[in-house]
Amino acid sequence: MTKNEKIIEELKRLYGGVDNFLNFNSPFELTVAVMLSAQCTDDRVNKVTEKMFKKANTPEQFAKMKVEDIEKMISSISYFHSKAKHIKECSRQIVEEFGGEVPSNMKDLVKLAGIGRKSANVIMLEAFNDCQGIAVDTHVFRISRRLGLSDKNEPEKVEQDLLKKFPKKYWPLVNHILISHGRKVCKAIKPDCENCTISKYCKEYNS
């Protein structure tokens, strides 16, 4: 087993398998939740979507709404003005360009308003059980660089390094367990290196 595989196996032991952090009942609900989650906690998103999806949960419904009405439902979310516009435009695209169904391929997903490669990776994995890559959020970005898995400065390039370093069977796990580790141990400020069970593999800790 390689060093990188040992890292993932240890984190898998600590945090378990793949559990989605966002609550959803359809690919569209996940698409909206992923948009809202940018620079916002998953707990906050889940609280907002729990109420919002009881009022509307289809692209047809959101496409007909005024942006101002969507803003009212997500006003406690960071950057809610721009996210409301993205939800409406994304909904319109899904209805008019994809027959009311969230596309199940990366090429079309990244065409949707508010959906970049990171979000598309999450949707492909969680909604369609088709892992196409590794979603690189702030936790994954930070820990990948600390461990020495990548020295790149752009999330897309960090993802490409991770895809090369881990066998495909680990791809669905990497995002989830690095996020869990980032929240509990390898925090942005004051990482708990003394209690980190993978510190022996960490480039930054051992430098």
Catalytic residues: 118, 137
Nearest to 7 by CA among 204, 189, 173: 173
Q: What is the DSSP string of 63-99?
A: HHS-HHHHHHHTTTSTTHHHHHHHHHHHHHHHHHHST
What letter represents residue 93's amino acid?
A: Q
How far is Cα 206 from Cα 64, in angstroms, rounded to an integer?
55
The Cα 180–Cα 198 span in angstroms is 14
Report CA Rg, the chain.
18
Contact between residue 164 and residue 144 where contact means Cβ atoms under 8 Å apart: no
